[in-house]
């Protein structure tokens, strides 16, 4: 029987942190599960008090549904707002149902505005209205304004609570203000200076404020080179900007250039993770709603769409094979070797597509260098084609004792890898220019292109040169 540490015992660092920050080791999750089975409620509650809020969220996510509900019920009287902000969207729905909307409203009221917007936007419309009605007028106004901005925009991402002071103040006045004002945000990195119209004119890192004499004017030590973020800027653009400029925080402005919020680097880290995860899933033909915690039928529905698209692509390749049915009947070796051509072309195209999609996401592949990039990938495809054509051609000659057949498959491999390099690099650029997400449409189209071209070239050359 696994024992849980009590509040009087010191939690070993390795037991809590596991192999990665914010993730509990499997043994800890099993121990909590057993304690819930045996109704050792006080032990579970004491154990959870040791954990960081990210670890509590991880624990909730990894427990089976019935035990997850029991744990949430144990924590419901004093549910940590930070835990709710860390939960997976699918798990969040179940936690909201278990807590009830009145309790959810209390939890949301304790969140920073950016986290509160993230949680509320995941609720159904009637749930949103009920939770918002239960909040204070000030909290409700902040969240409603956040929800009014476009999805995945800086307005949804930003924290409304800012620390802004008049530009004519001194360091001493700013320090006194930060010490005496009780409702300032808990964590901030920079002090923003604003003019009478509440437009940002400069910024000062807190470290510089603390190292400067009290009588010095703030505008004498401020940095006027502000990178202001429009409230409608897409969150991917925000993440790119933070990476390019090595920002810790940045002011968000509305259409009148007024300071309306601030984005901090911890929010951007979440965006980078979210966008990376989204691109990886799209490359595999998996929808955003298809995750580890989704219900079975939701997962089936999500994946079946993409499987149908790939079925159409496979049908196109099968149609090409059907055209050369007579050729295959006369030389059975062609049927044996066809998967080799398809596999080489498909793998090469996915390699190129992955590099191209990543480059587009990182703003490295642009219209200015697209031709150079496509040309490079064609050369790479040709070079790899020569290398593997020799290997596969010789192996085919040795296997079937037919030199001409070895030459045919070698030539088909070269052509298919060149096409894979061309399509894998050019297709994402074309799709993006047409307004489509290259990560979504690229893989299905590439599969069709490389299979059709590979089979047509291989079987066509065989029909022309061997029969």
Q: List, as one string, the DSSP characters of 181-244.
A: -TTS-S---EEEEE-TT--EEEEEEHHHHHTS-TTSBHHHH-B-----EETT-BHHHHHHHHHH
DSSP H/E element including 40: none
pLDDT tens-digit map of 85-99: 888 888 888 899 899
Mean pLDDT of the chain: 85
The sign of the torsion formed by the CA atoms of 199, 201, 207, 212 equals negative
Considering the domain delimited by 13-152, tell me its CATH architecture: Alpha Horseshoe (1.25)
Q: For position 393, what pLDDT does the model report?
A: 94
- Grade residue 366 by pLDDT with cuts at 50, 70 and 90: confident
Mean pLDDT of the 107-130 span: 89
Would the pTM of this model clear 0.85, i.e. be above it? no
The contacts of residue 299 (CB under 8 Å, 6+ apart) are 290
**Do the beta carbons of residue 285 and residue 420 sit within 8 Å?**
no
Distance (Å, rounded) from C-alpha 173 to C-alpha 410?
A: 78
In words, the CATH class of domain 164-283 is: alpha beta
Structural fold of domain 296-465 = Tetracycline Repressor; domain 2 (1.10.357)
Which string of DSSP letters, residue by residue, matches 98-161? Answer: HH-HHHHHHHHHTS-HHHHHHHHTTS-HHHHHHHHHTS-HHHHHHHHHHHTSPTTBHHHHSBS-
Q: For position 290, what pLDDT does the model report?
A: 52
pLDDT tens-digit map of 242-291: 988 888 899 999 999 999 999 999 889 888 877 776 666 666 655 555 55
**Measured between alpha carbons, how far is residue 166 from residues 112, 203, 212, 402 in Å?**
24, 11, 17, 85
β-pairing verdict for 164-166 and 190-194: parallel
Nearest to 34 by CA among 64, 79, 72: 64
pLDDT tens-digit map of 289-348: 555 556 667 667 766 776 777 778 778 888 888 888 888 878 889 999 999 998 899 889
Nearest to 164 by CA among 290, 46, 34, 259: 259
pLDDT tens-digit map of 368-417: 888 999 999 999 999 999 999 999 999 999 999 999 999 999 999 999 99
Q: For position 330, what pLDDT does the model report?
A: 81
**Do the beta carbons of residue 46 and residue 85 sit within 8 Å?**
no
**Do the beta carbons of residue 202 and residue 223 sit within 8 Å?**
yes
pLDDT tens-digit map of 163-218: 999 999 999 999 999 999 888 887 788 999 999 999 999 999 999 999 999 999 99
Parse the chain into domains and list their residue ranges. 13-152, 164-283, 296-465
Q: Is 39 exposed, middle or buried (0-12, 13-18, 19+ CB in 10 A)?
A: exposed
The sign of the torsion formed by the CA atoms of 256, 259, 261, 262 equals positive
Which string of DSSP letters, residue by residue, matches 68-93? Answer: HHHHHHHHGGG--HHHHHHS-HHHHH
């Amino acid at each position: 029987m696994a024992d849980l540490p009590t509040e009087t015992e010191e939690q070993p660092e390795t037991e809590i942190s596991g192999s990665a920050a914010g993730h509990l080791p499997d043994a800890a999750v099993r121990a909590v599960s057993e304690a819930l089975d045996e109704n050792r409620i006080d032990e579970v509650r004491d154990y959870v008090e040791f954990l960081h809020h990210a670890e509590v969220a991880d624990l909730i996510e990894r427990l089976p549904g019935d035990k997850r509900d029991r744990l949430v019920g144990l924590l419901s009287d004093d549910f940590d707002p930070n835990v709710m902000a860390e939960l997976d969207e699918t798990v969040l729905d179940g936690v909201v149902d278990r807590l009830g909307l009145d309790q959810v409203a209390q939890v949301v009221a304790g969140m920073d505005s950016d986290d509160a917007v993230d949680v509320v936007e995941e609720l159904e419309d009637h749930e949103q209205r009920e939770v918002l009605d239960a909040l204070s007028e000030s909290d409700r106004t902040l969240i409603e304004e956040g929800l009014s901005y476009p999805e995945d925009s800086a307005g949804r991402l930003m924290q409304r609570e800012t620390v802004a002071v008049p530009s004519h103040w001194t360091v001493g006045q700013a320090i006194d203000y930060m010490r005496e004002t009780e409702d300032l945000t808990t964590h901030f990195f920079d002090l923003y200076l604003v003019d009478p119209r509440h437009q940002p004119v400069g910024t000062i890192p807190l470290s510089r404020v603390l190292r400067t004499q009290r009588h010095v004017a703030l505008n004498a030590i401020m940095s006027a080179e502000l990178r202001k973020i429009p409230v409608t800027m897409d969150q991917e653009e925000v993440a790119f900007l933070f990476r390019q400029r090595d920002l810790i925080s940045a002011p968000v402005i509305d259409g009148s250039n007024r300071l309306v919020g601030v984005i901090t680097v911890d929010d951007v880290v979440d965006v980078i993770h979210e966008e990376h995860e989204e691109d990886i899933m799209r490359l595999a033909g998996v929808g955003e709603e298809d995750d580890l915690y989704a219900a079975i039928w939701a997962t089936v529905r999500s994946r079946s769409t993409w499987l149908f698209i790939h079925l159409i692509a496979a049908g196109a390749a099968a149609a090409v094979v059907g055209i050369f049915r007579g050729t295959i009947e006369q030389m059975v070796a062609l049927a044996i070797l066809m998967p080799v051509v398809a596999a080489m072309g498909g793998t090469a195209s996915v390699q190129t597509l992955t590099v191209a999609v990543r480059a587009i996401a990182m703003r490295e592949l642009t219209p200015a260098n697209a031709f150079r990039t496509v040309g490079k990938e064609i050369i790479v495809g040709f070079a790899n084609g020569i290398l593997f054509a020799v290997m596969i051609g010789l192996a085919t000659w040795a296997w079937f004792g037919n030199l001409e057949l070895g030459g045919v498959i070698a030539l088909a491999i070269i052509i298919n890898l060149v096409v894979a390099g061309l399509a894998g690099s050019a297709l994402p650029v074309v799709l993006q220019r047409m307004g489509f997400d290259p990560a979504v449409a690229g893989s299905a189209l590439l599969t069709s292109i490389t299979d059709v071209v590979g089979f047509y070239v291989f079987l066509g050359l065989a029909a022309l040169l061997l029969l």
